[in-house]
Amino acid sequence: MAVSESAPAIAADLTQDQLRSMYRDMVLGRLLDERILVLNRQGRAPFAISGQGHEAAQVGVGYALRRGHDWLVPYYRDLTLVMVMGMEPKDHLMASLGRAQDPNSGARQMPGHYGSRAHNIVTTGSPVATQILHAVGVATAFKYRGEDKVVVTSVGEGGTSEGDWHEGLNWAAVHRLPVIFLVENNSYAISVPQSLQMAVAHVADRGPGYGMPSATVDGGDCLAVYAAAREAVDRARRGEGPTLLEAVCMRLQSHSSDDDQRRYRSPDDLAQMREHDPLERFRRQLEGAGVLSEGDADTIRKECQRVIEAAQAEADAAAPPDPATALRHVYQEG
Amino acid sequence: MAQVTYVEAIRGALEEEMRRDDRVLVMGEDVGAKGGVFGATAGLFQEFGEERVIDTPLAEAAIVGVSIGCALAGLRPVAEIQFLDFIPPAMDQIINEAAKIRYRSNGEWSCPMVIRAPCGGGVHVHGALYHSQSLEALFAHVPGLKVVIPSTPADAKGLLLSAIRDPDPVCFFEHKALYRSLREEVPEGEHLVPIGKSRVAREGADLSCITYGATVHEVLTAAERMGEDGIEVEVLDLRTVRPLDREAIIATARKTGKVLVCHEANLAVGVGAEVAAIVAEECFQQLDAPVMRLGGPEVPAIPFAEPLAEVYCLGPEKIEAKLRQLAAY
């Protein structure tokens, strides 16, 4: 296990265009996430679950995958990661507003329950960590068919207390399956701190117990996450088995729109987090390396705002689901 | 046609389907080199190898959860839970995941898989509390699942082939007392019995007994004895408890006007209650007696010692007594 506090200034295998695109995806995720919370406070989106503070980790992992080839079995904080895989702001807004065009579920599920066959994102439910086992099954299918695909599955550090998480890691290690177990550790499972979830300092400390390589990376450092994820993905693709990858993130917002983290976190804690916002860190890093010029970040921000405005206009105008469809798709039809 | 036992019929169905369709694989505890604790997968490991016949870690949630992942990625997994009594750790995966995948994705994803498990007990089975339970009602309550409980070797084969080819998750429960006690002719090759269709195991005009699984044979014994006294009992073997064959249930109830529903599982809030409700709702005018039920008593499972087990289990005598009570009504 390696604890990586800082990344190389610029990853050798990423072009400047890719780096700008990574930054743009982070900004798009953040602004969309903020928009959805506003819609919630306006009473228009009944429920919202935020991924703010996780964008760098999600973009870092997403860019290590081959889009359209590799698979993702996500969890509810992966708003940005599913967009790296191919979903669009419009898709999120359709879900938030409960529109028939919600591609995840046709507005049957709460927002944040992702799934898209077109983008190799496996359908997910609410129980925590059940998806870990599905990823192991997907990887079993890849290995059985001799495909060079890998699957990433994600969960928070609270989810690692579930039996399904343990069973999944153990099985994948036994059968050397091409899975990356991503843990987006933001220190809190709703209100319960990491110290009450586990007696180890890092989730990745458990890797050796499964006979699996593992690493803890700074989840606010996009390129450090990318480098660690690339290593894990390459290892899986070579047929050398799974990796446990822990990205230490921050949860800038409350657990969900029904939670208020000021009730259980100190003002200092919350303020300090803001000072280490991963978006600002990445912007400074890219500006320092000359990847972004003065004004570029502003241009990107405005472009993302336009995309979100257009997406919301489309979602606003979209129809809710037809009640006549509520009884469909329990079993295969016809 | 060959004379085969119930467990041989299951083994044969798995073998035939694995030869026909390379998407089919089998996983569970001891299903590999040992061929399963009851021999239901005997020889498959040797023929198909460790990639298709997977000896899993001892983890029921994982057996089902990994099978779900395989199904999502295009395979046709058959998961074996060693005893139905040990399925509760996998209930989250079955009820919250497998059963809901099609509905929650608005029809975009599906979960074609089979969960096989030996169920049931008996006076001479000695399975006791944790190797004898009949938990089908827990699964039959859940939209999205199908629940199949074959009573004969031919049905075991025909229904298992249908279950593996079904586009949705199927719970396939095999009464362990039947594994080696029954031998009959089973059609070789393609023999499909449709899920959701019952069969009339015995025709009769006076009473109907609706049942399934191993209890079918106890009911048939009781019905023969009644027949000696000129009371003809029609026996309906449901074969599938979700979806129920409503048409056949209604037809036999209307035909005889007197219905007993019988199963080994605990009586209260069981499959029999649903069958009785269908009869009450659909056949009220044709009934000559209240619908009666016979099932397991209000204890959690079948005890070990034979004198205790006898209290739980039905057997032809108790069934006959109940049928005579119904006949006399």
> Is the residue at B222 inside a domain?
yes
pLDDT value of residue A334: 84
- Rounded Cα distance between B24 and B17, Å, is 7
Contacts of A129 (CB under 8 A, 6+ apart): A155, A159, A160, A162, A163, A164, A165, A168
Task: Say yes or no: B177 and B219 in one domain.
Answer: no
> Is the residue at B194 inside a domain?
no
Task: Say yes or no: B79 and B145 in one domain.
Answer: yes
Strands B76-80 and B24-28: parallel
Q: Which of B263, B117, B242, B98 is nearest to B176 (CA)?
A: B117
Residues in chain A: 334
Task: Say yes or no: B262 and B318 in one domain.
Answer: yes
According to DSSP, the residues that pair with B53 across neighbouring strands are B26
Task: Say yes or no: B34 and B162 in one domain.
Answer: yes
- Rounded Cα distance between B329 and B292, Å, is 11
- The answer to whether A240 touches A177, Cβ cutoff 8 Å, is no
Domain end (from B137, B164, B186): B186
Task: Say yes or no: B92 and B208 in one domain.
Answer: no
Contacts of B26 in chain A (CB under 8 A): none
Q: What is the CATH number of domain A3-317?
A: 3.40.50.970
Is the pTM higher than 0.95? The answer reads yes
CATH number at residue B122: 3.40.50.970
Task: Say yes or no: B99 and B213 in one domain.
Answer: no
Domain end (from B186, B213, B234): B186
Q: How far is B185 from chain A (nearest CA, A)?
A: 33
Which site among B18, B106, B165 would you substitute to test the A interface, given the most A Cβ atoms closer than 10 Å to its Cβ?
Answer: B106
> Is the residue at B249 inside a domain?
yes
A45's tokens: 């989106």
Domain end (from B142, B164, B186): B186
Contacts of B92 in chain A (CB under 8 A): 127, 130, 164
Chain A's closest residue to B90, CA to CA, is: A164
Contacts of B238 (CB under 8 A, 6+ apart): B149, B198, B210, B211, B212, B244, B245, B249, B271, B275
Task: Say yes or no: B132 and B176 in one domain.
Answer: yes
Q: At what angle do helices A296-317 and A278-288 cross, to 10 degrees?
A: 140
Chain A's closest residue to B60, CA to CA, is: A167
- The answer to whether B213 touches B175, Cβ cutoff 8 Å, is yes
Show pLDDT as tens, one digit a residue, over chain A (334 residues): 344 444 445 677 899 999 999 999 999 999 999 999 999 999 999 999 999 999 999 999 999 999 999 999 999 999 999 999 999 999 999 999 999 999 999 999 999 999 999 999 999 999 999 999 999 999 999 999 999 999 999 999 999 999 999 999 999 999 999 999 999 999 999 999 999 999 999 999 999 999 999 999 999 999 999 999 999 999 999 999 999 999 999 999 999 999 999 999 999 999 999 999 999 999 999 999 999 999 999 999 999 999 999 999 999 999 999 999 999 999 999 8
> Is the residue at B305 inside a domain?
yes
Peptide bond into B243 cis (omega under 30): yes
According to DSSP, the residues that pair with B207 across neighbouring strands are B233
Could you tell me how many CB contacts below 8 A there are between chain A and chain B? 138
Task: Say yes or no: B312 and B263 in one domain.
Answer: yes
Q: With an 8 Å Cβ cutoff, are A164 and B65 in contact?
A: yes
User: What is the per-residue burial (b if ≥16 Cβ within 10 Å, else e) of A106-129?
Assistant: bbbbbbbbbbbeebbbbbbbeebb
Burial class (CB in 10 A: 0-12, 13-18, 19+), B275: buried
> Is the residue at B175 inside a domain?
yes
Task: Say yes or no: B210 and B105 in one domain.
Answer: no
Task: Say yes or no: B211 and B142 in one domain.
Answer: no
> Is the residue at B164 inside a domain?
yes
> Is the residue at B191 inside a domain?
no
Question: What are the residues of chain A with a beta carbon less than 8 Å away from any beta carbon of chain B?
Answer: 71, 73, 104-106, 108-109, 113, 115-117, 122-123, 125-127, 130, 132-144, 163-164, 167-168, 170-171, 174-175, 328-333
Q: Which of B61, B69, B103 sits opposite A140 (nearest CB)?
A: B69
> Is the residue at B193 inside a domain?
no
Chain B's closest residue to A163, CA to CA, is: B61
pLDDT value of residue A207: 98
CATH number at residue B317: 3.40.50.920
- Rounded Cα distance between B54 and B28, Å, is 7
Enclosing H/E stretch for B155:
helix B153-165
Task: Say yes or no: B91 and B30 in one domain.
Answer: yes
State the catalytic residues of A.
251, 255, 264
pLDDT value of residue B163: 98
B61-107 residue pLDDT tens:
999 999 999 999 999 999 999 999 999 999 999 999 999 999 999 99
- Concatenated DSSP letters for B64-106? HHHHHHHHHTT-EEEEE-S-GGG-GGGHIIIIIIGGGHHHHTT
Contacts of B98 in chain A (CB under 8 A): none
Range of the domain at B79: 2-186
Q: Which of A323, A309, A303, A332 is nearest to A27 (CA)?
A: A303
Q: How far is A169 from chain B (nearest CA, A)?
A: 10
pLDDT value of residue B124: 86
Q: How many domains is chain B partitioned into structurally?
A: 2
List chain B residues with pLDDT less than 50. Answer: none
- Rounded Cα distance between A22 and A65, Å, is 13
Enclosing H/E stretch for A182:
strand A179-185
- The answer to whether A62 touches A225, Cβ cutoff 8 Å, is no
Give the number of other CB atoms < 10 A from CB of residue B183: 14
pLDDT value of residue A12: 73
- The answer to whether B16 touches B46, Cβ cutoff 8 Å, is no
- The answer to whether A33 touches A50, Cβ cutoff 8 Å, is yes
Q: With an 8 Å Cβ cutoff, are A138 and B56 in contact?
A: no
Task: Say yes or no: B171 and B230 in one domain.
Answer: no
Q: With an 8 Å Cβ cutoff, are A137 and B77 in contact?
A: yes
Chain A's closest residue to B70, CA to CA, is: A137
- The answer to whether A95 touches A311, Cβ cutoff 8 Å, is no
pLDDT value of residue A3: 40
Q: Which of A105, A96, A143, A108 is nearest to A123 (CA)?
A: A105
